[in-house]
Amino acid sequence: MRARLAGRALAAFAAGLIAVGLLIFLPAGTFAYPCGWLFCGVLFIPMAVMGTVLLIRHPALLEKRLSRRESQSEQQMVVKLSALMFLLGFILCGLDFRFRWLTLPKWIPVAAAVIFLLGYLMYAEVLRENAYLSRTVEVQEEQKVIDTGLYGIIRHPMYTATILMFCTIPLVLGSVIALPVFLLYPVILVRRIRNEEQVLSEGLRGYRDYMKKVKYRLFPYLW
């Protein structure tokens, strides 16, 4: 069972690595793209570490994270919009490097990479706190409301972590041209959150009370 899960995880990791590599280096027209390698490092090294830890300590959670099929049409639309955003954004980053449309100071990709890793750390903490984190919007059997730790501050800390990560991607890749594309991510996320909260409030016992207790979804005092 665990060997098969490891195989699935390795296949997903390899597919992601190849896809991201193609989307970055193909438009750039070269492998001599330092920011491209920087991004691959900050994305895939922590991903490999996190996947290994989950495989050893929390295989059930890893299996949930590998699930990608959304059953709801609303969430399927969100997935499609996100995929389009990433496709366009990565291609723009590569083209920006290739044609030198706008060169950023070298410290900006490094600073953005630090923020990206901080988002990754927050993401890892959310995985530690919440064993029900599936990639799909659903109410699981025997699921309980988590209202401690980061969940005691905001309702969707995982999404906050991904905002920190995804919105810094173009800067890690040295492209400000692609930044407006990635800034669409929080807008797309709002649509997912509204639908997710509707599903949880209708199907998860205690979630309505939790929404009253924790008022903010992503950022304290903002939303």
Q: Name the residue with higher pLDDT: 69 or 170.
A: 170
Structure-block tokens of residue 40:
């691959």
Per-residue pLDDT at 144:
80
Rounded average pLDDT over 63-89: 78
pLDDT at 87 over 60: yes
CATH architecture, domain 2-133+142-213: Up-down Bundle (1.20)
**In the prediction, which pLDDT does 74 show?**
65
* pLDDT, tens digit, 9 for 90 and up, residues 151-207: 889 999 999 999 999 999 999 999 999 999 999 999 988 888 888 888 888 877 888
Q: How far apart are CA 86 and CA 185, in angstroms?
A: 9
pLDDT in tens, 161-176: 999 999 999 999 999 9
Q: Where are the domains of the chain?
A: 2-133+142-213
